[in-house]
Chains A and B, each alone.
Chain A
Amino acid sequence: GAVVSQHPSRVICKSGTSVKIECRSLDFQATTMFWYRQFPKQSLMLMATSNEGSKATYEQGVEKDKFLINHASLTLSTLTVTSAHPEDSSFYICSAISWRGPARETQYFGPGTRLLVL
């Protein structure tokens, strides 16, 4: 139980294009999902908290117009990197929690999405 998937696992795009990353909770309903960014040899840095049916809460310094988050259902949250630039290249990881079942009160992480912007 408590499986979280991400798609795609890797993406290469040209500078100026937009990229959408999906995060799904496969065997539980996630009322809250989190999006993190991780640069090489660094820790995970929280970008935003995504709550189903409401607007995401962004961390200080994260541009909400650049990193669009949509938590349309209890099993899906999407992160869209708009007008991507090389400095947006990173490893993006989502996590999900639920108030019931195996993921109760604990964050379970997806496998991550490697974004490379040329």
Chain B
Amino acid sequence: GQQLNQSPQSMFIQEGEDVSMNCTSSSIFNTWLWYKQDPGEGPVLLIALYKAGELTSNGRLTAQFGITRKDSFLNISASIPSDVGIYFCAGRISNFGNEKLTFGTGTRLTIIP
């Protein structure tokens, strides 16, 4: 099935550093979502974006819906050990909640002690 291009694939950072990852698509999405998945768990919703250009924060996390509607980025400021995990972007073509999501390939975040 279709997947979104997510980069970087993996990141190795030190605690306290800021993190930035992005997601791009060849087609337009009208909803962008960012999830975090811990090993052996299901994804947990971090931020939902519904309008092109929208910038939304959730604590140390900030995400933006690209104005072209073909991309989105997620920033994490002042990383802490519990930020370790895999981050997935997901896009939805319509504004209807029952439409399926297309997931990105994931960004694995590791914090170096």
Interface residues in chain A, defined as those with a beta carbon under 8 Å from any beta carbon in chain B = 4, 6, 31-32, 34, 42-46, 49, 51, 59-61, 91, 93, 95, 97, 99, 104-112, 114
Contact = CB atoms under 8 A, between A and B. Distances in A.
Contacts, number: 61
A35 to B, nearest CB: 11
14 contacts: A32-B97, A32-B98, A43-B88, A43-B106, A45-B103, A46-B101, A49-B100, A61-B1, A104-B97, A105-B97, A106-B97, A107-B33, A107-B45, A112-B40
Chain B residues touching A, range: 20 to 34
A12 to B, nearest CB: 15
Nearest to B97: A105
Interface of B: 1, 3, 33, 35, 40-45, 48, 88, 90, 95-98, 100-101, 103-106
B92 to A, nearest CB: 9
Question: DSSP majority for the B interface?
Answer: loop
Contacts of B1: 45-46, 59-61
A44 B103 contact: yes
